[in-house]
Chain A
Amino acid sequence: MSKKLNHRFNRRQFLQWTGGASAVAFLAACAPAAAPTGGSEEGTTTEASSSTESASGGGTMIWVGHQEVSGLSPNDAGPTVQWAMISNIHDPMLLLDENYELIPTLAESYEATPDGLSYTFNLRQGVKFHDGTDFTSKDVKYTFEFYADAETGSTLANNFQGMESVEAPDDYTIVITMAQPNAAFLVNAATSWIVPADYHAEVGEDTYRTAPIGTGAFKLKEWVAAEYTLLEANEDYFLGRANVDFLRQEVVPEPSVRAIALETGDAHYATWPLLVEDSIRLRDSGEGYQVFATPANSVKHFPLNNDNPVLSDKRVRQAMMHALDRQRIIDDLWNGAAEIATANLTPSAPYYNPNVKTYDYNPDTAMALLEEAGWTVGDDGVREKDGVKLSFTCTTITGDQARRPIAELAQQLFKEVGIEMLLEEAPVASITEAMRKGEMDASLYNWTYGSAVDPDASTTLRSDGANNFSHFKNDRVDELMDAGLVEIDPEKRRQYYDEIQEIVAEEVPFLFLQYDSWFDVFRPEVTGLPEPGSVKNANRLMIKGRTMGLSA
């Protein structure tokens, strides 16, 4: 495995390009660029596919993402474009599939004690890493201990909450002891991508993320961070070789160009969604595009600073919910591609509770609630109370053409009931930081408040949560959240989350608008996909690049 995966340029080349030798550069540029192994030629260079699962074999499947792939260690799995590659290079003990089911992968079976304090995993034998070394329990132990420790720079430490020790009594057994139960341990920790202990320890995390070695169905072949990532089928993959020979992800920032690339056949799938209108257009084109629409984990919402005196009364926040015509927002501004939100969890989540207080569009109810809270209409039509205007500022993300119109419509709708919402813009990183610190009143973005993977929302809804943008403080929610985290019986656990969603619906810590449909668009010739409509989260299909093929 070459550590120099990136092109490096020596001084002479540098001078050639920059030092004014423009003639040389021009001539060199006119010559056909030394094409990095691209396009369809790749398929012909390797032996015929040994796959037995599908008739379609070989070829290069091309995915298009929106931003560069800056690292390929399990730690980098936050951004989707990176997760798409990392998950095809590595395997977890248990794989969380597109229907949120745990599929034994590197572990053949597992047991948990009823008190949730101990887990035993029996590992699969005969699995090899891409460098030929055997996969054993020491790799799991090493991976868990490394990424559970935030001091190593791990972004994943929270997944291992409550873990006390990882033991490897023999080469193919892992025993995990918990200091306290963690209901999300299986979905969060047991699904961690496993890295090879010896190699990772030798090269360190910083090098590993540029030259990863996993057990996965694909191995890293070439990688130019800002341009493309090229994976090659692992001939010896323990669950059967991938159908395609190569999986290549290109970086195409402009969404309309990603859609055009799908239409011209220059790409087979978009790792990061197209514009909603393009997705719908391709779905309805009748040309056989396989289009999945599944609800995103995140909620599109206006986070509201509950510490702000104007916004601290829940009746004001409830009034704003009644003032918002959410169906109109979805129909007019979102191409109908969303569902009205009921609280913090999405309908695809196993712990989703549909029986909560709802808010219909009703300006009269909104005004009645505001009157009840003591806000009366002033001379300029804006309500006042004790000389304070019912006015606040919503800061939207600079250049966010998709969500900005929603803020503008909301501004009008609020005005009709006597609430003044001013609009400003700022970069996304500035907004999340300022909301976190309580320096902004409100904003508009998507965030995950407990996901379909696990309903825990301690970091976003707990009083001391790092991403408690709304500064929501509710003792009962804190209590329920702590109880929910350590209860491993799903049915008992459900009661806690049912109540959390009821409280969120009642208290309205933030204005929950809608659950966006997340579109996944595949070209007609991609094989091995389930029926659209049969999966809970089509985005997770990209973990299984192995099962997809290309028909001629």
Chain B
Amino acid sequence: MLNYIISRLLQGALVIFLISLATFVIMRMLPGDPVMLLLGEGEIQITQEQIDAIRAKWGLDRPYYEQYLVWAGNMLRGDFGDSLIRRGVPVRDMIFEAMPVTGRLNVMAFALALLISLPAGIVAGVKRNSPFDYATTIGSTIGVALPNFWFGLMGIIVFALMLRWVPPFGLKTWQGYVLPVVVLASEQMAVFTRVMRGATIETLSQDYVRTATAKGLSRQVVILRHAVRNALLPVVTVIGFRIAFLFSGTIVIEQIFALPGLGRLFVDSLYRLDYQVVQSLVVLLAALVVFINLLTDLAYAFVDPRIRIER
């Protein structure tokens, strides 16, 4: 078990190294100059010598390999360096400032999605072809099909502009969380419900469920103790998978609702060619995904005793 974890961690380190290299190369390959983006649409006049002086000041005139080694070396020591555009502000501070926002949104959205979708999926699976099942299926199809940004904007128009129940942007009050969390949750909910329903139907047709029913257990016990427990396995896989995807959903949501989270930080930094911030964020996210994948694998063993991790 320990050996397995260690070898997985080593593989993860290699993946992260390759991703850091790829990100660095891609960022430098993007033509464009972060210095120019400080100038607005030509309102500030500047000469080539002046541009060069600023680039030298920012260390952008050094050879690429040197820039990469300095950055990678600092990352290993936990120092993400300073932002290019917000000079004087450490990237670490920017990330720690944005992380709680994204973290809170995702935890709430995830909790909401699980609370609703797991029971709904189970009931839909047990009462197959009932009106409830159809309603769930239609609901989750719509949930998957609707793009986040459209759902979000419609939410703002209806609940902020027309009904005035929630503010149109920001997180100044708790009401500000309602729309972004519901929109984020809706997409997760749709996926979880479908997987839970499918897995429930699958397990209900297994021999051991028939045996359990045959030996006279109540339907409730059969479903909850025998069927649902086993049906959870594919759901755990999907949950692990979705956690890695959560971030991509918040990119859109944070943009629309003007929430200062990691997604916004990423998009803003990319637009402004803030190499330092984009590189650090990508590497951190890669590390997060590697870590979550490992946890998901370990969670299998916990949920399904048949799976034994060996090496």
Complex formed: what's the CA distance from A36 to B176 in Å? 13
- Partner pick for A156 among B44, B111, B177, CB 8 A cutoff: B44
When C-beta atoms are compared, the residue in chain B nearest to A429 turns out to be B32
- Asked if B41 contacts A150 (CB within 8 A), the reply is no
Tell me how far the C-beta of B166 lies from the nearest C-beta in chain A, rounded to whole angstroms.
10
Contacts of A264 in B (CB 8 A): 160-161, 164, 167-168
- Asked if B268 contacts A67 (CB within 8 A), the reply is yes
Tell me how far the C-beta of B244 lies from the nearest C-beta in chain A, rounded to whole angstroms.
14
- Asked if B54 contacts A155 (CB within 8 A), the reply is yes
When C-beta atoms are compared, the residue in chain B nearest to A8 turns out to be B93
Per-residue CB contact flags for chain B residues 14-56 toward chain A (1 = under 8 Å, else 0) read: 0000000000000000111111111111111111111101100
Given A78-B44, A446-B41, A433:B33 Cβ within 8 A: yes
- Partner pick for A158 among B50, B176, B255, B260, CB 8 A cutoff: B50
Asked whether B306 is an interface residue with its Cβ less than 8 Å from the other chain, the reply is: no
Tell me how far the C-beta of A207 lies from the nearest C-beta in chain B, rounded to whole angstroms.
6
Tell me how far the C-beta of A225 lies from the nearest C-beta in chain B, rounded to whole angstroms.
6
Asked whether A22 is an interface residue with its Cβ less than 8 Å from the other chain, the reply is: yes
Contacts of B153 in A (CB 8 A): 254, 256-257
Stretch among A68-76, A94-102, A283-291, A470-478 lining the B interface = A68-76
Asked whether B98 is an interface residue with its Cβ less than 8 Å from the other chain, the reply is: yes
Asked whether A325 is an interface residue with its Cβ less than 8 Å from the other chain, the reply is: no
Tell me how far the C-beta of A523 lies from the nearest C-beta in chain B, rounded to whole angstroms.
14
Complex formed: what's the CA distance from A428 to B40 in Å? 12
| Residue from B44, B53, B97 with most neighbouring chain A CB atoms (10 Å) | B44
- Asked if A430 contacts B103 (CB within 8 A), the reply is no
- Asked if B97 contacts A445 (CB within 8 A), the reply is no
Contacts of A30 in B (CB 8 A): 108, 174
| Residue from A64, A264, A456 with most neighbouring chain B CB atoms (10 Å) | A264
Asked whether A226 is an interface residue with its Cβ less than 8 Å from the other chain, the reply is: yes
Per-residue CB contact flags for chain A residues 434-468 toward chain B (1 = under 8 Å, else 0) read: 10000000000111110100001011100010110
Contacts of A38 in B (CB 8 A): 172
Asked whether A7 is an interface residue with its Cβ less than 8 Å from the other chain, the reply is: yes
Asked whether B217 is an interface residue with its Cβ less than 8 Å from the other chain, the reply is: no
- Asked if A445 contacts B100 (CB within 8 A), the reply is no
The interface size bin for chain B is: 35 or more
When C-beta atoms are compared, the residue in chain B nearest to A445 turns out to be B41
Stretch among B81-89, B129-137, B226-234 lining the A interface = B81-89
- Asked if B268 contacts A209 (CB within 8 A), the reply is no
Given A250-B169, A266-B168, A430-B31, A459:B40 Cβ within 8 A: no
When C-beta atoms are compared, the residue in chain A nearest to B33 turns out to be A433
Per-residue CB contact flags for chain A residues 366-392 toward chain B (1 = under 8 Å, else 0) read: 000000000000000000000000000
Which residues of B, 195-214, contact A by the 8 Å Cβ criterion?
A: none
Contacts of A298 in B (CB 8 A): 41-42
Asked whether A18 is an interface residue with its Cβ less than 8 Å from the other chain, the reply is: yes
| Residue from A70, A153, A156, A428 with most neighbouring chain B CB atoms (10 Å) | A70
Which residues of A, 195-213, contact B by the 8 Å Cβ criterion?
A: 205-207, 209-210
- Partner pick for B107 among A25, A253, A430, CB 8 A cutoff: A25
Complex formed: what's the CA distance from A512 to B194 in Å? 55
Complex formed: what's the CA distance from A498 to B284 in Å? 56
Asked whether B96 is an interface residue with its Cβ less than 8 Å from the other chain, the reply is: yes
- Asked if B37 contacts A35 (CB within 8 A), the reply is no
Tell me how far the C-beta of B151 lies from the nearest C-beta in chain A, rounded to whole angstroms.
14
The interface size bin for chain A is: 35 or more
Contacts of B167 in A (CB 8 A): 264, 266
- Asked if A429 contacts B97 (CB within 8 A), the reply is no
Which residues of A, 208-236, contact B by the 8 Å Cβ criterion?
A: 209-210, 224-227
Contacts of B161 in A (CB 8 A): 260, 263-264
Tell me how far the C-beta of B249 lies from the nearest C-beta in chain A, rounded to whole angstroms.
16
- Asked if A29 contacts B98 (CB within 8 A), the reply is no
| Residue from B43, B83, B171, B273 with most neighbouring chain A CB atoms (10 Å) | B43
Contacts of A253 in B (CB 8 A): 255, 258, 264
Asked whether B218 is an interface residue with its Cβ less than 8 Å from the other chain, the reply is: no
Given A25-B104, A25-B107, A257-B257, A432:B169 Cβ within 8 A: no
Asked whether B294 is an interface residue with its Cβ less than 8 Å from the other chain, the reply is: no
- Asked if A155 contacts B38 (CB within 8 A), the reply is yes
Asked whether A490 is an interface residue with its Cβ less than 8 Å from the other chain, the reply is: no
Contacts of A432 in B (CB 8 A): 32-33, 36
Tell me how far the C-beta of A197 lies from the nearest C-beta in chain B, rounded to whole angstroms.
19
- Partner pick for B40 among A35, A78, A207, A427, CB 8 A cutoff: A78
When C-beta atoms are compared, the residue in chain B nearest to A430 turns out to be B31
Which residues of B, 72-120, contact A by the 8 Å Cβ criterion?
A: 82-83, 85-89, 93-94, 96-100, 103-104, 107-108, 111
When C-beta atoms are compared, the residue in chain A nearest to B47 turns out to be A466
- Asked if B258 contacts A257 (CB within 8 A), the reply is yes
- Asked if A466 contacts B265 (CB within 8 A), the reply is no
Contacts of A154 in B (CB 8 A): 50, 54
- Asked if A8 contacts B255 (CB within 8 A), the reply is no
Tell me how far the C-beta of A281 lies from the nearest C-beta in chain B, rounded to whole angstroms.
13
Complex formed: what's the CA distance from A356 to B153 in Å? 46
Which residues of A, 383-439, contact B by the 8 Å Cβ criterion?
A: 427-430, 432-434
Contacts of B48 in A (CB 8 A): 464, 466
Asked whether A56 is an interface residue with its Cβ less than 8 Å from the other chain, the reply is: no
When C-beta atoms are compared, the residue in chain A nearest to B256 turns out to be A254
When C-beta atoms are compared, the residue in chain A nearest to B85 turns out to be A70
Asked whether A111 is an interface residue with its Cβ less than 8 Å from the other chain, the reply is: no
- Asked if A33 contacts B46 (CB within 8 A), the reply is no
Asked whether B215 is an interface residue with its Cβ less than 8 Å from the other chain, the reply is: no
Complex formed: what's the CA distance from A429 to B104 in Å? 33
Which residues of A, 22-80, contact B by the 8 Å Cβ criterion?
A: 22, 25-26, 28-30, 32-33, 35-36, 38-39, 64, 67-68, 70-71, 76-80
Contacts of B265 in A (CB 8 A): 226
Given A17-B103, A153-B58, A225:B40 Cβ within 8 A: no
Tell me how far the C-beta of B33 lies from the nearest C-beta in chain A, rounded to whole angstroms.
6
- Asked if A466 contacts B169 (CB within 8 A), the reply is no
B interface residues (Cβ-Cβ under 8 A, vs A): 30-51, 53-54, 57-58, 82-83, 85-89, 93-94, 96-100, 103-104, 107-108, 111, 153, 156-157, 160-161, 164, 167-174, 176-177, 255-258, 260, 264-265, 268, 271-273
A interface residues (Cβ-Cβ under 8 A, vs B): 6-9, 13-14, 17-18, 22, 25-26, 28-30, 32-33, 35-36, 38-39, 64, 67-68, 70-71, 76-80, 150-159, 205-207, 209-210, 224-227, 250-254, 256-257, 260-261, 263-264, 266, 297-298, 427-430, 432-434, 445-449, 451, 456, 458-460, 464, 466-467
What are 25 A-B pairs at a CB distance below 8 A? A6-B93, A13-B100, A17-B100, A26-B111, A29-B107, A33-B173, A35-B172, A35-B173, A70-B83, A71-B87, A77-B44, A78-B44, A154-B50, A155-B50, A210-B88, A226-B98, A227-B170, A251-B260, A257-B256, A260-B160, A433-B31, A448-B41, A456-B45, A466-B47, A466-B48
